[in-house]
Chains A and B, each alone.
Chain A
Amino acid sequence: MNKILTIAFNTYRESIRNKVFYIIIVFAMFLLSCSLILATLALGEDDRIIKHVGLSAINIFGLLMAIFVGVNLVYDELEKRTVYTIIASGVKRYEFLFGKFLGLFFTVGVNILIMGFMLCLLVIAWPDCSLSATLVLAILLFLLEMLVISAIAILFSSFSTPILSAVLTFMCCVIGHMSEDLLEWSKRLSEQGSAVFAKVLTVIYYILPNLEIFNLKNQVIYSEDIGSIGHHFITYPIYAIVYSGILMLIAILSFSRRDFK
């Protein structure tokens, strides 16, 4: 475990010393500032606009960070051969990959928590806004989404180039947010007699993650009661951990017998 944590911490340190990290943070702050400007323009809608723009910014920048930092992590180690001396130090390949994954999640998680904290402060400070438990839960659920996205990015990064990994991870994220639509579409196709396409969509639905379950934006904006889905706050973390675990297992299997060039 010590080796995994050492690699995770080093990955985190690499990310925070990478200028891209700061650019993303600055952009997030910029977007939060935009929400303030928009809020002053839309009279009486301050609360909704600040929360909507703020949560969207956290989600988008968290996603961008997970993708752009994640897809380069393993690839760079192999390309620059920094992995050689690590493996030669007696670190197992699964320890290396898992350390990279934890480091990425920690980097993205810290970023999301900082942005979330800033949003909460803004909501508290703004006269017509109120901080709700739903808002805090929405931010915490983003962490679970990032856990899954980090695992997807590491999986692709372990066997393909950064550009391809970024495209594939982004596609998984987009489709993952349309998961319920896929099922609906599959049902319609089935009713229309296109059984094969319906089956394909059903398979995609079950293979790709359902990221929309981690999205509480509407509930936050419209101050909906989340009591009815309250029990899912136990199942959602389990879903995220198991799904990420399976992805990491696949990544480790493909990584463990691979020749590093």
Chain B
Amino acid sequence: MNSVVVVIIGFIVAFIGYRVYAKYIDTKIMKADPKRATPAKMYMDGVDFMPTSKNILFGYQFKSIAGAAPIIGPIIAIQWGWLPALLWILAGAFFIGWVQDYSSAMIAMRHEGASLGGLSHKLISPRARIILLSFLYFYLLLIAGAFGNVVVSTAIGLKAAPMAWLFMTIGGILAGQMIYRWKKDIILTTVVTVVIALFGIWLGTIAPSNKIIGDSLANSRWVWAIAAFVFCYFAAVLPIWRFALPINYVASYIVFLGLFFGIIGIFVAHPNFTLPAYTGFSIKIGPIWPIMFVTIACGAISGWHSLVSTSGTARQLEYETDARPVGGGVMFVEMMLAVFALVIAGTIYASATEYGAAIAKGPGVIFAAGVSKFLGALGLPLDTGRSYGSVMMIVLAVTIMQLVIRFMRIATSELLSDVSPIFKNAHIGTIIASLLGMLLVLTGWWQYLWVLFGGANQLMASLALMLVTAYLMSEGKPAAYAFYPMIFMFFTTVAALLYTSYGLLSKVFTGAVKGAEALIGNTLMGLIGFFLVIAAIILAVEGAKAFNRYRAIRAQAAPAKA
């Protein structure tokens, strides 16, 4: 089948989802009222609460949720065949993904801009809040591990990537200096620093890492894992304007340009799918259900989005009616990003064998090859295109990683500062988070780590949908549109986490694992998976109690009305 047909189907699903289903929920169930004051207007402080144009928030939400996951998930999931992967991307986003993003923003708006922790406390129970925050810590750790693996495998698989990454970092640091210290014009700063980053992309093609540091170091997982976490360390402890923010600023142009021209390249080349539509129910990493459903995370449904929607977006929405384009609309755009990633994976290799050889080196290699091919359709040399794709992959992964490590530093301080004041120290918290992340990167097989990340991520989404359902029940509104997706995601993710964790730990206990690294990796991943399942079950029990409470309140109110 031609890939443009698939892309058009994606656009149609997005259009119907946004203009019909989302509009129905927004107007008839949630009853968004443009005249109702939002927290951004009620508590306007020009800082956290600030009414912001929906177009700006559209870009902000997209930037915050679109990381490496909508790209990597489909690239891995195509191993089951492009058709089941496509069906899950479309159906997942249509029935569940946008529902979670939009509804999380709405319920946070209607609860004075409360965060997920605050919403759990109000809608479920105080214990739910504590368990959710503990769940979040391990969920963040899995993100650090999974994305760290992407950075390491891309740096090893594509020798041009490290130089491009270095110049992106230099450009970013210079941007921070020019904007905040030297007070230079923003347009001049943008042009200078983006040119530096583009120069680094070209330089990487003639000065690959193996020529600079030798083959042994260039192929070492330790070297690139240390590089990734040192990068995140600086991002977490340095003033944010000096390192993290300006690098993200420069990187956003590189990624945006790459996606924009890459997508045009897909239409120009309009390749056919070369990989099979369906390969079988079960493959090495597991069966289609539940494993494929958690492998494609952000492109279909992702709990990370509920964090962004509640803590970030909900406090800036000017009107309640902006929640549909910002929350729902952006999710459909991310769905299209996942479709493009699927097209990349499904069309650039001549056969499944070639794809198999490439995926063994990591998903970044496949993405970079795809960007290279489609930018090549517009005239860019293939080597430069591959270098461009590799730095896009690294940047998409590392921008989320640095945020996650910063989060984990703050979480360590909050959760452990009563145990010992040493945990309040920013350096200690960051080092702990980085070491744990590195441990996962160096010891875990990346495909299992990705499945665990996806499972945790979507379990987070299920919990967010539980909060939405609790809100709807408390208000006496129909809750089916959130309740059934919640049930589906809960059982799918618990099954996926149990399946993967059991498989990892049984290999440890039966002695099937050889080597200290694999032993540590399997044990750690397996235990984290089980912990997340236990936390989710406790939250589900608390959620069920809350649902019964609201049902009882409604039942008592009904005879009184009669």
Q: Tell whether A and B belong to one assembly.
A: no
